[in-house]
Structure 1
Amino acid sequence: MENSTPSAEAARPAEEVRLERALAALRDRGPLVQCLTNTVVQQITADVLLAIRAAPAMVDHPQEAPVFAAVADGILVNTGTVSPAQVEAMPAAARAARDAGRPWVLDPVAIGSLPVRTPLAHELLELGPTAIRGNASEIAALAGTGRGGRGVDSTDSVDAVLEAARDLAERSGAVVAVSGERDAIVSRHRTTLLTSGDPLMTRVIGTGCSLGASCAAVLGATRDTDLTAHDAVLAAHALLGAAGTRAARTAEGVGSFAVAWLDALDALTPADVLGIVQLDERGISPVAGA
């Protein structure tokens, strides 16, 4: 008699299968990621991208950035320490990425009341980011419902800005990722809550900024597949959060945690990640691209 038991993959939740496929694509394809990012986190961002098998390129000269954005697999635009050159380069790169069909991520670091980065972030929003990643206060400020946090630190909770994130996703068409104790990945027809990571991640420089770069990496690795941008952004958050959980098990403090985190990013398999993170799906649309 033919065995009627469904395959293990068919029996698994669809979001887990897609997450595993996205992480496998990242390892297999080694995407080239252009980072227009802040000076504080360039080193850790490059280290993280290398650990997850991506190739970092810190190309942010105004004349070079749009040329490179047209050929990179994914692009990060991070407003953490905006210089006059970056104010020119960032919109040019975002526009080139959009026109070339390349996925790009907006990370609106510390926007709200600061007079240069805040209007810059809103200008970038109009250029069609594939994904937006920030803490709760940054997302609220970009959505127009808040004034920002305390510098790069959030003063809002993820749950408090979920409606703002949904509105921002609806208006922009981007996947909106809100980072916190529990991350929320929000797109027009789908919301996923993700629990992973460790409080030590908030005491190490660049964990959030390198998460934006990792989103660009997974988006680039999956752009020619049937996986959605939501799948890619969720996979990046799951990977970096799971690595934080793994690293905290052996770390003796923030210094050893930073090294252990990179080691975990290098070593974790997709199955390892799924064994660590907790996913809470709040709705999946049958519409392609959700």
Structure 2
Amino acid sequence: MDILGMIAENLQAVKEKRPLVHHITNYVTVNDCANIALAIGGSPVMADDREEVEEMVSFASALVLNIGTLNARTVESMIAAGKKAKELGIPVILDPVGVGATKLRTEAARRIIEEVGPAVIRGNMSEMKFLAGMNVAIKGVDSVADEQDGQAIAENLAKQLNCVIAITGKRDIVTDGQKTCFIDNGHEILSKVTGTGCMTTSLIGVYCGAGKDWYIGTIAGILSMGIAGELAQAGLAPTDGIGMFKVRLFDSIYNLSTEKILSKGRVIGG
């Protein structure tokens, strides 16, 4: 079976299993992450208190950790939930939002990687170059790094951290250190809406929660957002803007089908 066929099967598993995905995430985008997970067919829960995260993650099929809006309390909750998930064999998906921008973000990402060992790390080029030990310019939580040597950086980081690495941008790169693919779906308007990266990480969590192949689950989450972005943009009227685009994006994820994955997916390699 080719890679699009495996992604289509993963989507079908999502619809059938409705995996529970525990999020400790960015409060700027938490509602959008919950709704995108629901739209694709998952069951999101947003719980970040240290007193309940280990119990909550025990019920889950995947754990999403997003460091977009950090404080000392949630860092400890992330570590506790992550360790429990690892103990139970539940995949942990890390979104190291803005790592390198501040000492707190950098230290939080380092601790999660060292103490939890995520199954998947998804970020933009600046974030991944920073995790790889390279000197990069940081502008808040946005990527300002060029995409040069992206494949080598991703593959080396995947081998070093023993996880799936996804670098999202104009052309997305996903690798487990042995297999690598490139995803060419998407539209530039996705970058005009806050939280599309966070929502993509949530989609990865849902797909990984429904399957056992984190590499395929990661590709599936990114590809789904890319296809939905294209469909949402194509449905806009000349006077529509990013508000209507966001509405149509959720509708496109909700209506995503195996047929659309197979007909519209543009994945190279794998």
Which residue of the partner structure matches residue 110 of structure 2? 122
1:140-179 equivalences under 5 Å are: 140-147=129-136, 149-179=138-168
Which residue of the partner structure matches residue 240 of structure 1? 225
Structure 1 position 214, deviation (Å): 1.0
Structure 1 position 160, deviation (Å): 3.3
Alpha-carbon contact 1:75-1:213 (below 8 Å) kept: no
Structure 1 position 121, deviation (Å): 0.2
How many residue pairs were aligned?
Answer: 266
Q: What residue identity is the alignment partner of 2:74?
A: Q
Structure 1 position 206, deviation (Å): 0.9
Say if 2:206 is the partner of 1:217: yes
Which residue of the partner structure matches residue 7 of structure 1? none
Unpaired runs of 5+ in structure 1? Answer: 1-12, 285-290
1:41-190 equivalences under 5 Å are: 41-126=29-114, 127-147=116-136, 149-190=138-179
Structure 1 position 151, deviation (Å): 1.2
Say if 2:258 is the partner of 1:270: yes
Say if 2:235 is the partner of 1:250: yes
Say if 2:25 is the partner of 1:40: no
| Cα distance between partner residues in 1 of 2:223 and 2:150 | 20
Alpha-carbon contact 1:26-1:52 (below 8 Å) kept: yes
CA RMSD of aligned residues (A): 1.3
Q: Taking structure 1 as reference, are residues 33 and 148 closer, same or farther at Cα in structure 2, changes over 3 Å only?
A: farther
| Cα distance between partner residues in 1 of 2:123 and 2:147 | 10
Alpha-carbon contact 2:39-2:254 (below 8 Å) kept: yes
Give per-residue Cα distances to partners, 1:190-218, cap 9 Å, x unaligned: 11000111111101111100111111111
Give per-residue Cα distances to partners, 1:256-281, cap 9 Å, x unaligned: 00000000001110220232221110
Q: Taking structure 1 as reference, are residues 180 and 17 closer, same or farther at Cα in structure 2, changes over 3 Å only?
A: same
| Cα distance between partner residues in 1 of 2:138 and 2:101 | 9
Alpha-carbon contact 1:158-1:184 (below 8 Å) kept: no
| Cα distance between partner residues in 2 of 1:159 and 1:23 | 32
Structure 1 position 159, deviation (Å): 4.2
Alpha-carbon contact 1:112-1:146 (below 8 Å) kept: no
Please give the secondary structure, in 1, of the residue aligned with 2:50: coil
Structure 1 position 70, deviation (Å): 2.4
Structure 1 position 118, deviation (Å): 0.4
Alpha-carbon contact 2:185-2:227 (below 8 Å) kept: yes
Alpha-carbon contact 2:166-2:172 (below 8 Å) kept: yes
| Cα distance between partner residues in 2 of 1:278 and 1:35 | 29
Alpha-carbon contact 1:140-1:148 (below 8 Å) kept: no
TM-score by length of 1: 0.89
Alpha-carbon contact 2:207-2:217 (below 8 Å) kept: yes
Structure 1 position 189, deviation (Å): 0.7
Give per-residue Cα distances to partners, 1:103-136, cap 9 Å, x unaligned: 1101000011401010110111112101000001
Unpaired runs of 5+ in structure 2? Answer: none
Alpha-carbon contact 1:111-1:118 (below 8 Å) kept: yes
Q: Taking structure 1 as reference, are residues 168 and 136 closer, same or farther at Cα in structure 2, changes over 3 Å only?
A: same
Alpha-carbon contact 1:106-1:133 (below 8 Å) kept: yes
Q: What residue identity is the alignment partner of 1:189?
A: Q
Which residue of the partner structure matches residue 7 of structure 2? 19
Give me the identity figure in percent. Answer: 30
TM-score by length of 2: 0.95
| Cα distance between partner residues in 2 of 1:146 and 1:98 | 31
| Cα distance between partner residues in 2 of 1:36 and 1:141 | 22
Larger relative contact order (Cα-Cα within 8 Å, sequence gap ≥ 6): 2
